[in-house]
Amino acid sequence: MSVVILDFGSQYTHLIARRVRELRAYSVVLPGDAAARAIEQQRPQAVILSGGPSSVFDPGARQPSEVVFSLGVPVLGICYGMQYLARRFGGRVERGGRAEYGKAWLTSYSGLLFAGLSGEVQVWMSHADAVTELPPGWRVVAATADNPVAAIQDGEGRYFGVQFHPEVAHTPKGMTILQNFLELAGVERDWTPDHALEAALEEVRRRAAGERVLLAVSGGVDSSTLALLLARAEVDHTAVFVDHGLLRLGEREEVERALSAAGVNLVTVDARERFLVALQGVSDPEAKRKIIGREFIEVFKEQAAELGPFRFLAQGTLYPDVIESAGGSGAANIKSHHNVGGLPAELGFELLEPFRFLFKDEVRELGLLLGLPDTIRLRHPFPGPGLAIRILGPVDEEKLDVLRRADDLFIGALKDHGLYDDVWQALAVLTPVRSVGVTGDERRYGYVLALRAVTSVDGMTADWARLPHDFLDEVARRIPQRIPEIGRVVYDLTSKPPGTIEWE
Ligand code: XMP
């Protein structure tokens, strides 16, 4: 029993699937033109037709199998899906003319889809074509100021169409609309994250049975969860963890402990010296990033050759990464903002990306089910180039040591005060500035250390965290006390934009 989502190429298709999962219903995404048998096999209780870039007038526009209309289950068409329904049942769609993009407000709404809603309903529109004539027996159930046909339904309450996107955050009441649809369709709502784990295990076992899988772990939640998944699936895997020396205090040991305990076949490569030499005297942050990316790929290639051959490369790519790089070939789909700099296609592996339809919080759920310790699972984001971009100017062992200890004191204090989970990300930056201070009777020049903590939803925008003054006071005292190389501590009050989260 499932909700079948037919994908006509919208970048939001898997967001629809995610919303359905949030409503605890099991959903399956199939290609828009999936065969009747493939659809029937899922025993759908409801079908959703996604949006898509095509116009219903395009000669190559994909069409759903006719079986969708003989299953006897409710169908919801979104955007392109609504236009398809309108045409299929004898209405009329016109090209262009009434295009709408961005926010709009429903001026009227009624019927089953909108049950329980009241007051202002904001929706997100993104369409060029518009339904201008309804199929016989259908009626309009919502309109906006610019579009008199924003939602429609047939006379029997089986077919529904919405011109807007209920699945996106810019349609704040979209979840109620989707829930209404699932309810009127009588969809079972017993889906749990265990199902997602089962599906991921099944995919890995099916594709990688009898093959060897290589994986790069960074210590972040995605790659760590993936390593645990491969171990749980009992596929022949090798996880390579490159210690580039730019990690936080105790991080390597923590990752090694957690993964080894879960049965991950882990190979740690100590490449600290190599990265330090390559970074010597380099100040420009972009140059640092390039060097780190290049060295990483070199080390990884050497390991792959030594430990190989491997058929698959497993990557913890998430759905937002897939959307970001949508439209590309397989190679372009490799996470461009990847923690490890993006592994090149020339490595010649087939990709195994079992999280490509999941969101970060869903991967955290899987991590929980797979026994990933909370220290890793709930850890703040950390950039692939690590502490190298938090040391402004050239990186050397002494500065790394100073920053590692300062970062540990700051993060440790946040945890001790129960503030760690309240901020999206916290970090310390070692500036090249030295400032005068007095300790005892002595004048002393110490580094200026900047502390930064931000609140954010996705890292795209951020605000500085209003940490309690007493807490900041305690940290600002403790750091120079314990780390004499640091003379002054400042707190960063810049939001993003105009600033970024990292200083670089
Ligand atoms: P900025 O500094 O651009 O950072 O505001 C936004 C978020 O991205 C993280 N970040 C990275 N993450 N690889 C990553 O996986 C990277 O190269 C990288 N650079 C920045 C940053 O820590 C923040 O969470």
CATH of the domain at 428: 3.30.300.10
Neighbours of 230 (CB within 10 A): 26
Predicted local confidence at residue 333, as pLDDT: 34
Same domain, 172 and 275: no
Which CATH number is 70's domain given? 3.40.50.880
Q: State the distance from the centre of ligand 1 to the C-alpha of 418, rounded, in angstroms.
A: 24
Predicted local confidence at residue 152, as pLDDT: 98
Nearest CA to ligand 1 atom 18: 383
Tokens 């990709």 found at: 351
Q: State the distance from the centre of ligand 1 to the C-alpha of 380, rounded, in angstroms.
A: 11
Sequence-distant (6+) residues with CB within 8 A of 56 are: 80, 83, 84, 87, 93, 129
Same domain, 344 and 209: yes
Predicted local confidence at residue 376, as pLDDT: 95
Is the CB–ligand 1 distance for residue 381 below 6 Å?
A: yes
Same domain, 104 and 236: no
Q: Is residue 56 situated within a structural domain?
A: yes
As given in the structure block, the two tokens for residue 4 are 């079948």
Give which of 126, 102, 99, 160 is closest to 12, Cα–Cα: 126
Q: Is residue 83 situated within a structural domain?
A: yes
Q: Is residue 455 situated within a structural domain?
A: yes
pLDDT in tens, 92-125: 999 876 788 889 999 999 999 999 999 999 999 9
pLDDT at residue 57 greater than cutoff 70: yes
Is the CB–ligand 1 distance for residue 290 below 6 Å?
A: no
Same domain, 230 and 344: yes
Same domain, 166 and 127: yes
Same domain, 338 and 244: yes
Q: Identify the band that residue 33 occupies on the pLDDT scale cut at 50, 70 and 90.
A: very high
pLDDT in tens, 410-420: 999 999 999 99
Distance of CA 161 to the CA centre of its chain: 28
Q: State the distance from the centre of ligand 1 to the C-alpha of 459, rounded, in angstroms.
A: 8
Q: State the distance from the centre of ligand 1 to the C-alpha of 502, rounded, in angstroms.
A: 7
pLDDT at residue 145 greater than cutoff 80: yes
Q: What number is the average pLDDT over the span 12-34?
A: 93
Sequence-distant (6+) residues with CB within 8 A of 2 are: 25, 26, 27, 28, 42, 43, 44, 45
Sequence-distant (6+) residues with CB within 8 A of 440 are: none
Is the CB–ligand 1 distance for residue 501 below 6 Å?
A: yes
Rounded CA-CA distance 430/437 in Å is 17
- The per-residue b/e assignment along 478-497, b for 16 or more CB within 10 angstroms, e otherwise, is bbbeebebbbbbeebeeebe
Same domain, 179 and 34: yes
Which CATH number is 345's domain given? 3.40.50.620
Is the CB–ligand 1 distance for residue 461 below 6 Å?
A: no
Q: Is residue 389 situated within a structural domain?
A: no
Same domain, 135 and 51: yes
Number of structural domains found in the chain: 3
Same domain, 410 and 434: yes
Q: What share of the chain has pLDDT > 90, as a percent?
A: 81
Nearest CA to ligand 1 atom 3: 500
Nearest CA to ligand 1 atom 4: 501
Predicted local confidence at residue 97, as pLDDT: 65
Q: What share of the chain has pLDDT > 70, as a percent?
A: 95
Same domain, 314 and 268: yes
DSSP per residue, 234-250: T-EEEEEEEE-S-SPTT
pLDDT in tens, 180-211: 999 999 999 998 989 889 999 999 999 999 99
pLDDT in tens, 464-491: 999 999 999 999 999 999 999 999 999 9
Q: Is residue 388 situated within a structural domain?
A: no
Rounded CA-CA distance 266/342 in Å is 20
Q: Identify the band that residue 283 occupies on the pLDDT scale cut at 50, 70 and 90.
A: very high
Taking the model in full, what pTM does it have?
Answer: 0.81
Q: Is residue 501 situated within a structural domain?
A: no
- For residue 339, which atom of ligand 1 is closest to its CA? 15
Nearest CA to ligand 1 atom 7: 459
Same domain, 247 and 370: yes
Residue 11: what residue type?
Answer: Q
Predicted local confidence at residue 248, as pLDDT: 97
pLDDT at residue 85 greater than cutoff 80: yes
Q: Which residues are catalytic?
A: 79, 165, 167
Which structural domain range is residue 165 located in?
2-185
CA angle 382, 287, 429 (to 5 degrees): 40
As given in the structure block, the two tokens for residue 61 are 């526009």
pLDDT in tens, 295-350: 999 999 999 999 989 999 999 988 777 665 543 322 223 333 444 445 667 778 99
Predicted local confidence at residue 100, as pLDDT: 86
Q: Identify the band that residue 147 occupies on the pLDDT scale cut at 50, 70 and 90.
A: very high
Rounded CA-CA distance 151/135 in Å is 13
Q: What number is the average pLDDT over the span 485-503?
A: 95
75-78 and 159-162: which strand pairing? parallel
Mean pLDDT lowest for which of 212-216, 365-369, 439-443? 439-443
Predicted local confidence at residue 325, as pLDDT: 55
Mean pLDDT lowest for which of 25-29, 277-281, 329-333? 329-333
Rounded CA-CA distance 210/213 in Å is 10
Q: Is residue 383 situated within a structural domain?
A: no
Task: Give yes or no for a contact between 262 and 228, defined as CB atoms under 8 angstroms apart.
Answer: yes
Q: In the chain, helix, strand, coil percent, each to 5?
A: 35, 25, 40
Q: Is residue 385 situated within a structural domain?
A: no
Burial of 119 (0-12, 13-18, 19+ CB in 10 A): exposed
Q: State the distance from the centre of ligand 1 to the C-alpha of 314, rounded, in angstroms.
A: 22
Same domain, 68 and 93: yes
Predicted local confidence at residue 323, as pLDDT: 64
pLDDT at residue 65 greater than cutoff 60: yes
Rounded CA-CA distance 300/240 in Å is 8
DSSP per residue, 422-473: GSSEEEEEEEEEEEEEEETTEEEEEEEEEEEEEE-SSSSSBEE----HHHHH
Predicted local confidence at residue 357, as pLDDT: 83
- For residue 289, which atom of ligand 1 is closest to its CA? 17
Which of 377, 404, 426 terminates a domain? The answer is 377
Is the CB–ligand 1 distance for residue 502 below 6 Å?
A: yes
Predicted local confidence at residue 17, as pLDDT: 92
Which of 162, 185, 208 terminates a domain? The answer is 185
Range ranked top by mean pLDDT from 22-26, 160-164, 327-331, 345-349: 160-164
For the chain, the C-alpha Rg in angstroms (whole number) is 26
Predicted local confidence at residue 324, as pLDDT: 59
